[in-house]
A = this chain, B = another copy of it.
Amino acid sequence: MGMKIALAQINTKVGDITGNVSKIKAWTQKAAQAKADLVLFPELCIPGYPSWDLLEQASFVEANQKALNELSRWVQEPAILVGFAGKNSSSLGKPLFNSAALLWKGRIAVQRSKTLLPTYDVFDEARYFEPAKSNKSFHFKGIKMGLSICEDAWNDKGFWGRRLYPLDPVRNLIREKIHLLLNISASPFDHGKGRTRYRLLRAHARKAKVPLAYCNLVGGNDELVFDGNSLVLDKKGNPLAQGRAFREDLLLVDLPGSTPLPMSWEEFSDIQQVYEALVLGIGDYTQKCGFQDALVGLSGGIDSAVTCALAVGALGKEHVMGISMPSPYSSPGSMTDAESLARNLGVRLLKIPIAEIYQVYQTALGPFFKGYPEDVAEQNIQARIRGNLLMALSNKYKALLLSTGNKSELSMGYCTLYGDMSGGLAVLGDVPKVTVYELARFINRHQELIPESSIQKPPSAELKPNQKDQDDLPPYEVLDKVLRAYIEEGWDVKQTTSRLRLSEELVSGLIRRVDLNEYKRRQAPPVLKITPKAFGVGRRMPIARGFWPR
């Protein structure tokens, strides 16, 4: 064999069929200039991924099919491989397939569909698609190719303790003695995913003893961030080319290929990957929703500082505005920290004290609160005054409000619904507090952007005198370990207690608190996912419930 293959790692937009097709054409032309024979595009690149219940709208499916047909007539050389929602012509089963088509010389030369449909975590593919019953290889320019679509490559017997599906489409393709393995994907980022993917793909290439080309989606779509990191491996599983992380990229590789590269995980450290994922997630959500500008409430604390710095990374300093809303419980340092941060980042800062507003609420509610002890109600009023002010400015300035709460707070309900939880996007909602500190250090790696005092001071909601997070919560190092055990690893109280050497009382109390605060998270903004288990669409919990892990 001998062929120049291109991987077009593009950033599609959910539902934007016209825009996605324009992009596919533009990138095909780039690949044509480089004399590519075949260009791979990501899974479902025509409708965008994940299109959710748009896939249940007949006019959407129709538009996607029409776009495919038109594109097929446009394509000459190189051939392109694109993903689309294909109709199931049978009256049995789900009405769609998760399909891919090889377009060449003005026609649809080959059509295949996904065999394994992920239906767990953030994936709901069985909701929409009928699985393909089989997946045959095909020939293109004399080369026998085996195409798998994302999950199709994730059912290797050697890899998993529990396999979710009886079929292994890649093994079946290998049995057909293909010359080249292709996989087009929309595989969302979480920290650590890249390594797993590489190990998995390498195993396939080695088993098949043929090269493998893996084209992944890039970009943010609501809560999901796709990281790109496309990959071409030689028949020994060594990388011949690697797509950029969190950027669009065009890879061009002559196959079978000669000189393997070292696998460069080092483009980004683990913490920079999180940083880049969040920056891409903010930027894409903001722009794909039609905003240019964002607002962040700046408390002087580390969460809002990190959120603001990420927003500047995503949108540019001229498109980010900080709002400081001090109360009598704000420490003097908080105000100056917010000012330093805004100055360091070069963002405009508005200052709106809330004491007077809070006073009027107290007067209005006084007669009805009489005889009741002071409790969290008074604290929430302040947080909700800030929420109201931020949303008023968001409405007036047509700027997206970013909420600043981290995953540890959201887990514990250490946050106010309609208060600090207000916003269009929960930037740090999947970032544990300990990782927020790491992000702050990363952001400050060249110079102090986030004031050192914001990082150093004990975290506080500053909603009553001398309040500290640690009055109510264990140290974040401990809390985050328990949360990771419960939410990401799925350990129960007993396992967590013994493995982390903590008291059962502490662990079960924390887990109960996670569960009790489900009602707040149900009304949270979309949370950018960066861990294997984020709050939001990938974690579906009942609110009214009678099970409390012990």
Contact = CB atoms under 8 A, between A and B. Distances in A.
Interface of A: 13-19, 48, 50-54, 56-60, 63, 91-95, 119-120, 124, 126-127, 161-166, 220-222, 284-285, 288-289, 350, 352-354, 356-357, 360-361, 363-365, 368-369, 372, 375-377, 380-381, 384-385, 387-389, 391-393, 395-397, 417-418, 422, 424, 490, 492-494, 519, 522-526, 537, 539-547, 549-550
A492 B549 contact: no
B289 A542 contact: no
19 contacts: A13-B545, A59-B549, A60-B549, A92-B162, A92-B163, A92-B166, A119-B119, A119-B124, A119-B126, A126-B126, A220-B544, A221-B542, A221-B544, A350-B368, A356-B363, A357-B357, A360-B360, A381-B388, A384-B418
Given A120-B127, A356-B364, A547-B60, A53 B526 contact: no
A23 to B, nearest CB: 11
Most chain B CB within 10 A, of A526, A542, A546, is at: A542
A77 to B, nearest CB: 29
A368 B162 CA distance: 58
A11 B324 CA distance: 49
Given A368-B396, A376-B395, 20 more contacts: A14-B542, A14-B545, A15-B546, A51-B542, A52-B542, A54-B545, A59-B493, A63-B547, A284-B544, A288-B545, A289-B543, A289-B544, A350-B368, A361-B388, A361-B392, A365-B392, A384-B418, A388-B418, A424-B519, A526-B543
B163 A91 contact: yes
Contacts of A418: 384, 387-388, 391, 418, 422
Contacts of A545: 13-16, 48, 54, 288
A50 B388 CA distance: 35
Contacts of A19: 546
A364 B352 contact: yes
B540 A537 contact: yes
A368 B351 CA distance: 10
Contacts of A360: 356-357, 360
Contact of A54 (B57, B397, B522, B547): B547
Nearest to A362: B392
A385 B418 CA distance: 11
Contacts of A381: 388, 392
Nearest to A357: B360
Contact of A289 (B161, B289, B519, B550): B519
A162 to B, nearest CB: 5
A317 to B, nearest CB: 19
Nearest to A51: B542
A258 to B, nearest CB: 40
Given A350-B368, A388-B361, A388-B418, A52 B541 contact: yes
A52 B519 CA distance: 14
A380 to B, nearest CB: 6
Given A490-B56, A547-B54, A91 B375 contact: no
Contact of A364 (B285, B357, B375): B357
B388 A384 contact: yes
Contact of A57 (B364, B490, B519): B490
A316 to B, nearest CB: 19
Contacts of A95: 162
A171 B393 CA distance: 62
B422 A396 contact: no
A91 B62 CA distance: 40
A120 B52 CA distance: 11
Contact of A16 (B127, B525, B546): B546
B384 A542 contact: no
Nearest to A379: B395
Given A15-B547, A384-B388, A395-B376, A357 B368 contact: no
Contact of A539 (B17, B53, B222, B493): B53
A425 to B, nearest CB: 9
Contact of A543 (B222, B524, B543): B222
B392 A380 contact: yes
A543 B220 CA distance: 12
B395 A377 contact: yes
Given A164-B94, A543-B526, A549 B57 contact: yes
B57 A492 contact: yes
A540 B52 contact: yes
A350 B545 CA distance: 31
